């Protein structure tokens, strides 16, 4: 099966699982089914977003959630169930949300990291670019905006984290490897649920960009990286309207199928007037963990050629290396360790920051004399 056929097959399987899940809820938990505002199944993980319970006291919400989880876990192909319950917004917060959203920038530079298709390593690269920024001495934050497939808890070793809290100053980010971060992955199991309302994808992103206390007394962030969700442009629109975004970085592998999709991702950013800062080639070449030799198995250089063709900067190449996958699974950032991968991420991050700073520098004022 070629890569495209595989993706079609995978999508069909996901749709099938989502249908089975929906049917189970409708037949076994009609009261829950009526409250589903979003449902998604990906890689065996089911995410269900529920609107708030009808009664103010919530009834036995915890018991209900646990019965739903048990029933869904019994279904074929479901390995984990995440139930997120929205809570009603306070009137004051609602007023704040309708105020001009572009008022306050959460960081000096805000950089979205996107890709055309899943599995090219976008989240791994985004997390390690954040790590490289910390290594460069910058106050760094990361928004994991992939609502249905959050990766930050795993990549930052925070799968058992207690969950996000909301204080008077705003949502308190978690912290790992020197990076402040928020993710919907931290909402599940949260003891004090974050107030959550509105369409899930755009609502979550807007809230993460405008209601998080990134400063927390440490000073404002220098750079905020947004790990973008895959999609049709809703997320791009949400960030474009929410904050003064510096630009987007596109991660791609060198294969033709990935490059085709990267081009589409670029078009989505451009449509929402987010400048594309450049492209990064991930899994550029295989770096042998034994001899240190590189083998160009996927056709290294494809992304550089694509970037040149599209007229955007090429920001760097990250080799395919088993230690990167191992570190990611163990919640470590290779960008903060020693070795060739750290060097590759540092070079890519420096190029990204330089391009972002140039793109955000105000044009020189020309004064005509006489
Ligand atoms: N350069 C690399 N070398 C080795 N493994 C890598 C590399 N980049 C990513 N990986 C591994 O590839 C897998 C996919 O990476 P990741 O989850 O970051 O992709 P993604 O594009 O964000 O996918 P999705 O959109 O599906 O979440 C992970 O197991 C990750 O550890």
How many angstroms separate the CA atoms of 32 and 10, rounded?
27
CA of 314 to the centre of ligand 1 (A): 20
Q: Are residues 33 and 154 in the same domain?
A: no
- How large is the ipTM? 0.96
Please give the pLDDT value at position 298.
Answer: 67
Question: Would 168 be classed as within a structural domain?
Answer: yes
* Count of structural domains, the chain: 2
Are the beta carbons of 273 and 302 closer than 8 angstroms? no
CA distance 274 to 111: 10
Cβ-in-10-Å burial (0-12, 13-18, 19+) of 207 comes to buried
Average pLDDT over residues 259-266: 86
Residue nearest ligand 1's atom 26 by CA: 118
> What share of the chain has pLDDT > 90, as a percent?
36
SS3 143: strand
What is the end-to-end Cα distance of the chain in Å, rounded? 71
One domain for residues 82 and 165: no
Question: Per the domain annotation, does 175 fall within a domain?
Answer: yes
pLDDT in tens, 274-328: 899 999 999 877 777 777 777 776 677 889 988 998 899 999 999 989 899 999 9
Estimate the crossing angle of helix 256-271 against helix 234-242, to 10 degrees: 40
Q: How many residues does the chain have?
A: 370
Q: Which domain holds residue 151?
A: 99-360
> What is the distance in A from the centroid of ligand 1 to the CA of 364?
41
In a mutational test of the pocket of ligand 1, which residue from 183, 281, 289, 328 has the highest number of ligand atoms less than 8 Å from its CB? 328
User: Are 103 and 252 part of one and the same domain?
Assistant: yes
Dist. CA 341–CA 356, nearest whole Å? 22
Query: Would residue 4 count as lying in a domain?
Result: no
Supply the CATH number for residue 199's domain: 3.40.50.300
Per the domain annotation, does 351 fall within a domain? yes
Lowest-pLDDT range, 66-80, 145-159, 184-198?
184-198
Whether 170 and 213 map to the same domain: the answer is: yes
b/e map 121-150, b = 16+ CB within 10 Å: bbbbbbbbbbbbbbbeebbbbbbbbbbbbb
| Protein residues whose CB sits closer than 6 Å to any atom of ligand 1 | 115, 118-124, 149, 151, 230, 282-283, 318, 320-321, 324-325, 328
- Judgement on whether residues 340 and 311 belong to the same structural domain of the protein: yes
Q: Which of 107, 146, 108, 106 is nearest to 126 (CA)?
A: 146
118 CA to middle of ligand 1, Å? 8
User: Quick one: tokens of 270?
Assistant: 């451009």
């Amino acid at each position: 099966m070629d890569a495209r056929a595989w993706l079609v097959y995978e999508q069909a399987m996901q749709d099938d699982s989502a249908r089975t899940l929906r049917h189970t809820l409708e037949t076994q938990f009609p009261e829950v089914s009526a409250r589903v505002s979003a449902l998604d199944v990906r890689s065996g993980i089911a995410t269900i977003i529920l609107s708030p319970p009808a009664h103010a006291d919530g009834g036995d919400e915890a018991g209900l959630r646990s019965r739903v989880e048990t029933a869904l876990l019994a279904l074929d192909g479901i390995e984990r169930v995440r139930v997120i319950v929205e809570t009603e917004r306070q009137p004051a917060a609602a007023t704040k949300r309708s105020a001009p959203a572009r008022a306050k920038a959460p960081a000096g530079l805000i950089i979205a990291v996107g890709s055309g298709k899943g599995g090219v390593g976008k989240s791994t690269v985004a997390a390690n670019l954040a790590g490289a920024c910390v290594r460069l001495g910058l106050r760094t934050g990361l928004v994991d905006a992939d609502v249905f497939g959050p990766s930050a808890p795993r990549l930052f070793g925070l799968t058992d984290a207690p969950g996000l809290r909301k204080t008077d100053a705003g949502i308190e980010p978690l912290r790992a490897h020197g990076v402040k971060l928020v993710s919907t992955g931290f909402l599940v199991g949260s003891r004090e649920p974050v107030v959550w309302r509105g369409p899930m994808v755009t609502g979550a992103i807007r809230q993460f960009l405008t209601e998080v206390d990134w400063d927390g007394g440490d000073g404002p962030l220098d750079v905020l990286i947004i790990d973008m969700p895959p999609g049709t442009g809703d997320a791009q629109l949400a960030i474009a309207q929410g904050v003064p975004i510096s630009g987007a970085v596109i991660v791609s592998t060198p294969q033709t199928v990935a490059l085709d999709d990267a081009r589409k991702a670029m078009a989505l950013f451009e449509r929402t007037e987010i400048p594309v800062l450049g492209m990064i080639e991930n899994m550029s070449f295989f770096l042998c963990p034994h001899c240190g030799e590189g083998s160009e198995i996927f056709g290294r250089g494809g992304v550089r050629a694509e970037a040149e063709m599209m007229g955007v900067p090429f920001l760097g190449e990250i080799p395919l290396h088993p230690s990167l996958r191992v570190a990611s699974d163990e919640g470590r950032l290779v960008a903060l360790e020693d070795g060739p991968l750290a060097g590759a991420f540092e070079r890519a991050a420096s190029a990204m920051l330089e391009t972002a700073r140039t793109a955000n520098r105000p044009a020189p004022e020309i004064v005509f004399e006489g």
